[in-house]
Amino acid sequence: MSFFKNYLSLVPGILIMFSLTACNRHNKTLQRIDEYSFNPKQAEVVNRMVDSVFAHGSPSEEEAGQLLLSKTKAQFFMAYSNANFPKGLDSTITTAVNLLEKHDSKKLVDAYYWQGMVFNLGYGKPVEAMVALEKARLILPDDDSEFEARLYQQLGSVYELLGNLDMAINYMHRVVALMNQRKDDVGCIVSNYNIYTLYRQDGQNDSADYYMQKVIRDRVKFKDNRFDLFNEGVGKYYFEHHDLKRAKYYFENTPLADGRLPEALLGLARVARMESRGQDALRYLQRSKVLADSLFLDGKSYRAIMPQYLNSLARYYSDSGDGEKELATRRRADSLEVVVRRQNTQQLNRAVVMEREYLAQQLELQHRKQSRTTLALIAVVVLATATFVFSMARKYIRASRQRLGRMQQKTYRQAHEIGKLKGQVKEISQNQIDKVVEGKSAFEVIAAGSTTMKGWSKAELDKYIAYARFVDSDYFAELDERLAAKPTIFFYLNKKGYSDSEIAHIMGVSNGSIRTMRYNIRKQVKDSGVN
């Protein structure tokens, strides 16, 4: 009997030991899955392990979010090589993000990054990808330069797809700086080539040539076939510098999988034409046009590149003296550029709205946390005062009520601020978006100096101001909202650094009108200061 009692006394200890062993084994499994998820070769193993944990275990919400994040990485690695992404992968990573956000997990920045990767590379959603990647940037850890470089590289890629080349170049310069700090020569070569392509798209050929020279100089240090992806750009550089032999070599060795292959074939046609090989030039030209049209019809990824190809094709026709085909090609390129710019502007506006909604949600969550903390502190104070003498308790209760009133007023003010922020988000109307889109072309021709504002109607001036306000919001923050259209444009151009004579030429007015507008602006500023 005593033996039986002793045995029963050991049962709780045995159960506790088994429980601790099971918890330890569970934690090690999660840790192993997390470590394997960064290795593409272990993708299938990670996928099976995650399914097994969900089938036979009961992970917490935060653990479930981490498991779904690992599963997303595994399926991404498995699908990326053949670009055949499974249905529902975007829903998987979104669920993971929601669970990790709920528990403010340390894995949240990694989840945002992979959400951006999946949206951009897997499903062709650059707006959603940009918002996710910018969320990751806001909570970026300070001690992980390798992750920071990968994040900036993806942001540069997304902004390039959205047509915001200035932001894309800015992020790629950050990548180069981080690569130099880490002494990653291969990463520097890749980043310099990316900057070269961005400057080419932006028409800054001198800057593009500078970075291409760095790529050519540094790649000879490595015998790596992966750098063959740069051959089209290297061939174009040598062709423009009249080294036909090297240009031909790099054009001919452009990989078949490279999306720039139509440009490489067109480069071979230009080399053949300059070497008086007419049949070869015609053959390369036909192959280039057929391949470009095929890529354009197959997917959206080439549609942003197509205008550049058409402009190169138009230059080929110009060099060969075929003016009719050159004109038709340039018309097609111009119409396609208008469509691409309009889509990019609409996508950027949608991204701005999504970011503001996210910030409003974050402010509301912070407000709720502060309210819960405040109410908890007040409850503690009230309970503590109840233990004191009745005479002292009344004083403490009165003070607590006063504090509660102040906290409630603060809560009402914060709720009012949240409502104002939500209202600002909804104020972006379709009419304003259309006005910004229509004003971009007017802004660009004025910036290029190809025309002036002489004879413009008030509606055309308003469209120009709408786009200028969109791209240079900092300048307009200093302007008086009571100014009419022409003084507003004068004040803006003056802030941009134009002289009075240049502004008079652009606006199509006399120097006397410029002096009058400057006097009226100073008078309004003086009057507003008095009031």
Final residue in a domain of this structure, among 184, 219, 254: 219
166 within domain boundaries = yes
Euclidean distance between CA atoms 235 and 218, whole angstroms = 16
Residues 142 and 191 in one domain: yes
pLDDT number for residue 204 = 92
Residue 491: pLDDT band (50, 70, 90) is confident
Q: Are 183 and 177 in contact (CB under 8 A)?
A: no
376-427 pLDDT per residue, tens? 556 556 666 656 655 666 676 777 677 767 766 766 665 565 555 455 445 5
70 within domain boundaries = yes
pLDDT number for residue 183 = 87
Instruction: Provide the phi-psi class of 183: left if phi over 0, else alpha when psi is between -120 and 50, else beta.
Output: left
- Which residue type sits at 475? Y
138 within domain boundaries = yes
pLDDT number for residue 455 = 82
Residues 142 and 98 in one domain: no
Residues 470 and 518 in one domain: yes
Residues 60 and 133 in one domain: no
In SS3 terms, 47-92 reads as HHHHHHHHHHCCCCHHHHHHHHHHHHHHHHHHHHCCCCCCCCHHHH
Euclidean distance between CA atoms 148 and 162, whole angstroms = 21
Euclidean distance between CA atoms 140 and 312, whole angstroms = 40
Angle at 349 between CA 343 and CA 353, to 5 degrees: 140
Reading the block at residue 371, the tokens are 């309210």
Query: CA 492, 495, 501, 505 torsion: positive or negative?
Result: negative
8-62 pLDDT per residue, tens? 455 455 544 544 444 555 578 888 888 888 888 888 888 899 988 888 888 898 9
150-160 pLDDT per residue, tens? 999 999 989 88
Half-sphere exposure of 208 (CA within 13 A, CB side): 17
pLDDT number for residue 93 = 92
491 within domain boundaries = yes
295-313 pLDDT per residue, tens? 777 766 666 678 888 888 8
Q: Are 460 and 507 in contact (CB under 8 A)?
A: no
Residues in CB range of 124: below 8 A, 6 or more apart: 299, 300, 301
124-145 pLDDT per residue, tens? 888 889 899 999 998 888 888 8
Question: Long-range contacts: 335-339, Cβ < 8 Å, 24+?
Answer: 336/303, 336/306, 336/307, 336/310, 337/307, 338/441
CB burial of residue 112 (10 Å; 0-12, 13-18, 19+): buried
1 within domain boundaries = no
pLDDT number for residue 150 = 92
Residue 525: pLDDT band (50, 70, 90) is low
pLDDT number for residue 4 = 47
Residue 169: pLDDT band (50, 70, 90) is very high
pLDDT number for residue 343 = 66
Of the two residues 259 and 180, the one the predictor is more confident about is 180
Euclidean distance between CA atoms 507 and 510, whole angstroms = 9
Query: Would you report the helix, strand and coil content of the chain in percent, each value rounded to 5?
Result: 80, 0, 20
- The C-alpha torsion from 316 through 321 and 323 to 325, rounded to 10°, is -50
255 within domain boundaries = no
pLDDT number for residue 227 = 82
Residues 143 and 213 in one domain: yes
Among residues 294, 244, 304, which one has the least CA distance to residue 269? 244
Euclidean distance between CA atoms 211 and 173, whole angstroms = 11
200-221 pLDDT per residue, tens? 888 898 999 999 999 999 888 8
CATH code for position 473? 1.10.10
- The C-alpha torsion from 512 through 514 and 517 to 519, rounded to 10°, is -70
Reading the block at residue 475, the tokens are 């300048």
What is the count of structural domains for the chain?
3
Final residue in a domain of this structure, among 202, 219, 236: 219
DSSP, collapsed to helix, strand or coil, labels residue 255 as coil
Euclidean distance between CA atoms 317 and 329, whole angstroms = 9
Half-sphere exposure of 528 (CA within 13 A, CB side): 12
Residues in CB range of 58: below 8 A, 6 or more apart: none
Range of 502's domain?
Answer: 452-528
Final residue in a domain of this structure, among 193, 219, 245: 219
275 within domain boundaries = no
Residues 53 and 94 in one domain: yes
Q: Are 93 and 313 in contact (CB under 8 A)?
A: no
Among residues 506, 491, 393, which one has the least CA distance to residue 452? 506
Query: Helical H runs in 81-204?
Result: 89-102, 108-117, 126-138, 145-161, 165-182, 185-201
Q: Are 492 and 468 in contact (CB under 8 A)?
A: yes
Residues 100 and 31 in one domain: yes
Q: Is the pTM of this model over 0.85?
A: no
pLDDT number for residue 16 = 47
Reading the block at residue 469, the tokens are 């306000």
DSSP code for 18? H
Residues 475 and 519 in one domain: yes
C-alpha distances out from residue 330 to 315, 317, 334, 336, Å: 9, 10, 6, 10
23 within domain boundaries = yes
DSSP, collapsed to helix, strand or coil, labels residue 510 as coil
Residues 55 and 132 in one domain: no
Residues 58 and 137 in one domain: no
C-alpha distances out from residue 93 to 96, 141, 158, 313, Å: 5, 21, 18, 42
**Mean of pLDDT over the chain:** 79
pLDDT of residue 123 exceeding 50: yes
Residues 131 and 213 in one domain: yes
Residues in CB range of 345: below 8 A, 6 or more apart: 163, 433, 436, 437, 440
pLDDT of residue 330 exceeding 70: yes
CATH code for position 173? 1.25.40.10
Residues 150 and 101 in one domain: no
pLDDT of residue 490 exceeding 60: yes
